[in-house]
Structure 1
């Protein structure tokens, strides 16, 4: 295979660019090698598609697929990475040249990366799962840090070429809105399984105009009007998650979601009818559709609408839809559960609104039949009400369950009611869904609720990104772990001082690699002998990057005052993107960078303490960060993080978790032992008790260290870019903690409650690190006991228990 690839590469270079290999630019080489690889898998891909068409199959609907850089991953999956690397080297070409090619940022974080891991695992485990999403022109955004502030720029990832996606004009479909009709043009990406001939497909849709150029308008000098339809259509798939602070942004987001869902369902129906004709009695047996969060839930009424257009009654179509769909919930926070204004829905997709109304009416009938259409206050016949109350609408148990509630359409309620299964993504998350967020639904439909703890693919997140550790593991236990991560448990019996020393040497090497990369890309020098304490994830208040920043300031003050004489030198590394419209999150980025400027330029501490906020954190940056971490920061408020997957990537690569008892941290500790990690903070039960009786200002006033740290937001030490100290974004951060702000209660995420305990846990890890054998043993114990966190395990559970493919 490798010789075929190189031969095809040389031929493509000559045919396309009239160049020898060594004359190609990185982008040209990427395009040529990508095409050569795609040519090699064509027959296997076609065969896999035929096999899938003849059996029950599943589809994964997701607004995000954060695939990362495909070149290295595909070479690895095809088993030719080392050989191609050597053959290129023989031509004088360093394979690392592909690091100049940008990632396709078609996702925002864990949600999109989970979808990518699932596709990888399904292909490797021979599960017939294809993905459907959007081929965004610019994806999320490219982040730079200027004067400490996040600056967003368009991420034109396609400017480097895209050899991985094949345009399929023959499968183009039409999507209609109230004010617009567009073409949905599919692009297919091969998802190559490791150690198997199976290849799955990710189909991504682009929106195009029916007529992209009006010659007569142009000829009349109306140049903008001549391309108006083209621009309006392409805007739908231009950018991931357009800012929805304004009405127009909300409309565009809704159009994005409906666009890819309608196109995908039309595609599935077309494929079904090619085999079964217009007889839909076998549709739910033919396929299962997994809805990744609420973004694609509009698929449910859309499938019903499409089936009605083909002659089915509403009841028959609803029955098929309910059997076909399953829903993954990714959040326990009510503000993050999508709700659409029904008037906006009516403006954009009025026909779908009529279906939603029918589903809501069916829900009321179903729950009334179950005896739930009764007053909330009292269900007994002797209930008496005063005259005033008799004139008010009687509240019933249905009021908190209606899909259409007032003017809002609740997408999570629609998903739970009109699907076969609802699953959480970590044990504690699923328990919170059952006990709190969706407890009314669980009480009625307990059989629909399942847990499917997330996972990550070990092939990208260990095999590809950490070849040194992979080689050490394979030398000790063999290579079966690449397809069965449970094999890592065999390491437990082999951990001794010698193995720990080998592991520590590899960790130091990976830290040096990361330090070199950060120096090149972010201009900050780090000593790899420092502890690398890392928090990388989406920037959101509940993830509490601000808590981490406050702890660094507390440590800084203690170092300045000589209170930490035995402090192990530590580099605190952050990476995160804040949504462009999320002002408070962007203020936190600026605050962290102000801390970095203070610490890194202070000769009293910078031999012990360094802080860096890396710019444009993405999958490729993560591949360098995860293997280099000593300490993984997973510090969300207990009960807010559904699962996390970054915590798993760190664990597999041998980092200890410094975290709360939240999300998958709970299961990480169960697997690797609390003694090998650092757990702190209030647990879910205490948080629930505190919610109605919590006074952060009292904590602030009673603890001089906390007061000093919090006041760095307003004492003039740092600048937030405003003209007056105490009146800008930093002051607003402080106010949100002490007094509350916008919809926030004071210290909504309990930062001050957890800060002292957090600092203690951080310093405990700092002290433990001095014993390199003991600390290295903790790290290796995490690697050895990470087997359950493979996305292979997760996807096989989905396949067996939700999709019934096995």
Structure 2
């Protein structure tokens, strides 16, 4: 690291503003933090020390906004959104905060003058292991948008010590490695032990009569866990609003048993600590075992109870009567993971705060709103009654009571319909009894929303049909969106700068302003610049692939990318069938004219999901053969980039030419990867599923590669009796693809390796790969033809970006505010903070 010149040191010492934004002030603050916080000096500092020093420097500049936001919200008792989510896939904080503060260039210059490279420091940041995929990334986008739109909000979740896992690929197989994202510390959070709360688990209940003669229930728990909040500021884009992400860590009320220790029971001395800390140890523990199921349910009640208790604390702190809880807070349940909030809020109001049932139920329904994220029946959580009773005995009693009143309502509206009662009951009594969490969320919320127009329609017609008929007024659609700050401004600065040079930068907060780009779609110079930027980004990815995978790819080929969680319904293996189809064509005619393609995959499979992991193995096995076959040359390359993450997305999305969104119609709720790819200029090949439908409507069918059966056609085909073998025998290319896999060509002669996958396709094919195969191949052939016309492709790419205005998470949040939350923005002025500091009242306890 270079020495700071003396004249610079003098200037730094003269500058008075501790959180100033000038280059000189930033340099001084950076060195101060390196010295006073990290306890290091340049000759012995590591890259992580430099990153931490810079992170603290940036966080200091957030604190004024963060504290001031809290002051204003407290003084005004502002109505607040509480966003409850098991996942928050935030991505690295440093770069995003630099963008939102508007100081990216100043910081880049400051660290450069100190002999450092900002890109190196950004790369050093460990990504918070708080999410898995689309659910968590959506929650992160929504926090960004709520802060940008100046909406008072709190994000509530779990501070997982370990993320879901880091992914390695060994011999083509996924290998899970512990994600130790906290091992070097987290400079963005502040612990708040003074706001700790306690959560009960297990035990039994006792009924009693209180002094007023009222029936009451006392819960005698087997275990009590302490929840300690850790707060992270979430800054809006070029606003003074900094909202809070509050994550809970589980601890034992007493971490050390001296009696056990002194008697020689050293393990017993810390047993309670270990058991309690398991609750916030890892994201999504495998629930194949009864212990895993118990831990998952315990995690859910832990973070939900902590969060609701915290809201009640805030209500009392702001002198709001508890009877007006629903006026102070609206609580959004992000999928069924927090659905236990229905029973827990009732328990807190009735048992802890002596409220009557009817009043508590009215407050609960008015406070809670439920977002459904899935059309997969297996993803609609349900818990065995035996497990529920052993872990949450009081909640089970409350759920039975809710169910009794609810079924009385159903009887009154649909008299004599016993089948409907059975279907709608909160308790599934077919075989082993279960608590249906989606049903609980529907009954206990005032709003039920899907996340794409098609998804919401299918919820109403199929998955939640009975509830739609019961409560049609509750149902509404809120199509997902993504933040352009992270997924354009930060991750694609070259394209951002080109767009802003033509239409200004208002689009960063008002994405529909991208529509102005249409005026330049026939401008040769602009189109040339667009292509040049895309080419430069692709060359960057080429270098990354060479470094990470040792594979040399052609930057002029179609970058055909499928990056998402691995699941059979997402049909990564349909993509594999296309690759083998092209490979077979080359093997049959080595001189065939094929548009060069680089197939890039990324994504993780759940550790216990064997078929998804087998698909990953297949893709890597195909890569080993195709990439090394001299007949193929540079016409086809297959690359699996390991360890999908937000960092991964920021690198890969801008480089894509073609975005693969090929799930079976009727299975994908929405998708947000489809939006991020299109926003960065990729063209989409996809089915009419999830938000693909709305993206195609916005960008124009002529700028979207659509194929395959629609959701009604899928249902009709399955109803008639789908026979995948008929397609196998009647389609020559499909048969050749399946036969080549079966022959062991991609498995060193082992004909058994991929047999489970092939058997599934040939005899069941639940997700209709064979039925959609020919339409997909034909559509991909069309993609290849269109790509050869670079002017046409560029025009389509520009129009995709120009027409993506609807898919901003800002628009989504405005819709939530207007239709569900009934909440207004609360602008924050920095002057108020300065005044608040200057006029601090004497501290009172």
TM-score > 0.5, shorter chain as reference: yes
- Name the SS for the 1:107 alignment partner: coil
Structure 1 residue 110 and structure 2 residue 134: aligned?
A: yes
- Name the SS for the 1:691 alignment partner: helix
The alpha carbon displacement at 1:280 in A equals: 2.5
Q: How does 1:632-671 map to 2 (within 5 A)?
A: 632-671=659-698
Q: 2:192 aligns with which of 137, 156, 168?
A: 168
Q: 1:610 aligns with which of 632, 637, 640?
A: 637
Write the distance in 1 (CA, Å) between the matches of 2:192 and 2:765. Answer: 51
- Name the SS for the 1:159 alignment partner: coil
Going from structure 1 to structure 2, the CA distance change for 1:683 and 1:368 (only over 3 Å counts) comes to same
Write the distance in 2 (CA, Å) between the matches of 1:170 and 1:136. Answer: 20
Structure 1 residue 374 and structure 2 residue 401: aligned?
A: no
- Name the SS for the 1:186 alignment partner: strand
Worse overlay, 334-343 or 260-269: 334-343
Write the distance in 1 (CA, Å) between the matches of 2:591 and 2:649. Answer: 31
Structure 1 residue 35 and structure 2 residue 56: aligned?
A: yes
CA contact (8 A) 1:558 1:564 kept: no
Write the distance in 1 (CA, Å) between the matches of 2:531 and 2:266. Answer: 64
CA contact (8 A) 2:27 2:114 kept: no
Write the distance in 2 (CA, Å) between the matches of 1:519 and 1:15. Answer: 40
Find the counterpart in structure 1 of residue 304 from structure 2: 261
Find the counterpart in structure 1 of residue 581 from structure 2: 554
The alpha carbon displacement at 1:748 in A equals: 0.3
Structure 1 residue 571 and structure 2 residue 571: aligned?
A: no
Find the counterpart in structure 2 of residue 158 from structure 1: 182
Find the counterpart in structure 2 of residue 715 from structure 1: 743
Write the distance in 2 (CA, Å) between the matches of 1:103 and 1:43. Answer: 25
Write the distance in 1 (CA, Å) between the matches of 2:461 and 2:591. Answer: 44
Going from structure 1 to structure 2, the CA distance change for 1:448 and 1:557 (only over 3 Å counts) comes to same
Find the counterpart in structure 2 of residue 423 from structure 1: 449
Find the counterpart in structure 1 of residue 156 from structure 2: 132
CA contact (8 A) 1:737 1:747 kept: yes
Q: How does 1:43-192 map to 2 (within 5 A)?
A: 43-53=64-74, 54-98=77-121, 99-178=123-202, 179-192=222-235
The alpha carbon displacement at 1:100 in A equals: 2.9
Going from structure 1 to structure 2, the CA distance change for 1:297 and 1:564 (only over 3 Å counts) comes to farther
Write the distance in 1 (CA, Å) between the matches of 2:192 and 2:552. Answer: 47
Find the counterpart in structure 1 of residue 473 from structure 2: 447
The alpha carbon displacement at 1:567 in A equals: 1.4
CA contact (8 A) 1:632 1:647 kept: yes
Q: Which ranges of structure 2 fall in alignment gaps of 5 or more residues? A: 1-19, 203-221, 825-845
Write the distance in 2 (CA, Å) between the matches of 1:627 and 1:189. Answer: 28
RMSD over aligned Cα atoms: 1.4
CA contact (8 A) 1:535 1:573 kept: yes
Q: 2:328 aligns with which of 286, 293, 298?
A: 286
Write the distance in 1 (CA, Å) between the matches of 2:42 and 2:439. Answer: 56
User: For 1:487-515, what per-residue CA distance to the aligned partner results, in whole angstroms no more than 9, with x for missing partners?
Assistant: 00000112122211111110011111112
Task: Using structure 2 for the length normalisation, give the TM-score.
Answer: 0.90
Q: Which ranges of structure 1 fall in alignment gaps of 5 or more residues? A: 376-394, 740-745
Find the counterpart in structure 1 of residue 554 from structure 2: 527
Write the distance in 2 (CA, Å) between the matches of 1:554 and 1:180. Answer: 58
Structure 1 residue 301 and structure 2 residue 343: aligned?
A: yes
Write the distance in 2 (CA, Å) between the matches of 1:725 and 1:570. Answer: 28
User: For 1:119-170, what per-residue CA distance to the aligned partner results, in whole angstroms no more than 9, with x for missing partners?
Assistant: 0011011111210001100111000000100000100011132000100011
The alpha carbon displacement at 1:412 in A equals: 0.9
CA contact (8 A) 2:38 2:52 kept: no
Write the distance in 2 (CA, Å) between the matches of 1:228 and 1:756. Answer: 59
CA contact (8 A) 1:501 1:773 kept: no
The alpha carbon displacement at 1:6 in A equals: 3.0
Find the counterpart in structure 2 of residue 25 from structure 1: 46
Structure 1 residue 494 and structure 2 residue 534: aligned?
A: no
The alpha carbon displacement at 1:659 in A equals: 0.4
Structure 1 residue 435 and structure 2 residue 456: aligned?
A: no
Q: 1:328 aligns with which of 336, 358, 371?
A: 371
Write the distance in 1 (CA, Å) between the matches of 2:491 and 2:44. Answer: 28
CA contact (8 A) 1:328 1:425 kept: yes
Going from structure 1 to structure 2, the CA distance change for 1:269 and 1:322 (only over 3 Å counts) comes to same
- Name the SS for the 1:202 alignment partner: strand
Find the counterpart in structure 2 of residue 775 from structure 1: 793
Write the distance in 2 (CA, Å) between the matches of 1:519 and 1:227. Answer: 48
User: For 1:249-304, what per-residue CA distance to the aligned partner results, in whole angstroms no more than 9, with x for missing partners?
Assistant: 00000011110000000000111122336x42211111100000000000110000
Structure 1 residue 687 and structure 2 residue 706: aligned?
A: no
The alpha carbon displacement at 1:21 in A equals: 4.9
Going from structure 1 to structure 2, the CA distance change for 1:326 and 1:563 (only over 3 Å counts) comes to farther
CA contact (8 A) 1:21 1:91 kept: no
Q: 2:772 aligns with which of 754, 757, 766?
A: 754
The alpha carbon displacement at 1:22 in A equals: 7.1
User: For 1:221-240, what per-residue CA distance to the aligned partner results, in whole angstroms no more than 9, with x for missing partners?
Assistant: 33322221111111111111
Find the counterpart in structure 2 of residue 385 from structure 1: none
Q: 2:290 aligns with which of 247, 253, 264?
A: 247
The alpha carbon displacement at 1:180 in A equals: 2.0
Find the counterpart in structure 2 of residue 387 from structure 1: none
The alpha carbon displacement at 1:190 in A equals: 0.2
Find the counterpart in structure 2 of residue 515 from structure 1: 542
CA contact (8 A) 2:495 2:530 kept: yes
Task: Using structure 1 for the length normalisation, give the TM-score.
Answer: 0.94
Structure 1 residue 408 and structure 2 residue 450: aligned?
A: no
Going from structure 1 to structure 2, the CA distance change for 1:318 and 1:21 (only over 3 Å counts) comes to farther
The alpha carbon displacement at 1:563 in A equals: 8.0
The alpha carbon displacement at 1:248 in A equals: 0.3
The alpha carbon displacement at 1:650 in A equals: 0.5
Write the distance in 2 (CA, Å) between the matches of 1:95 and 1:13. Answer: 16
The alpha carbon displacement at 1:639 in A equals: 0.6
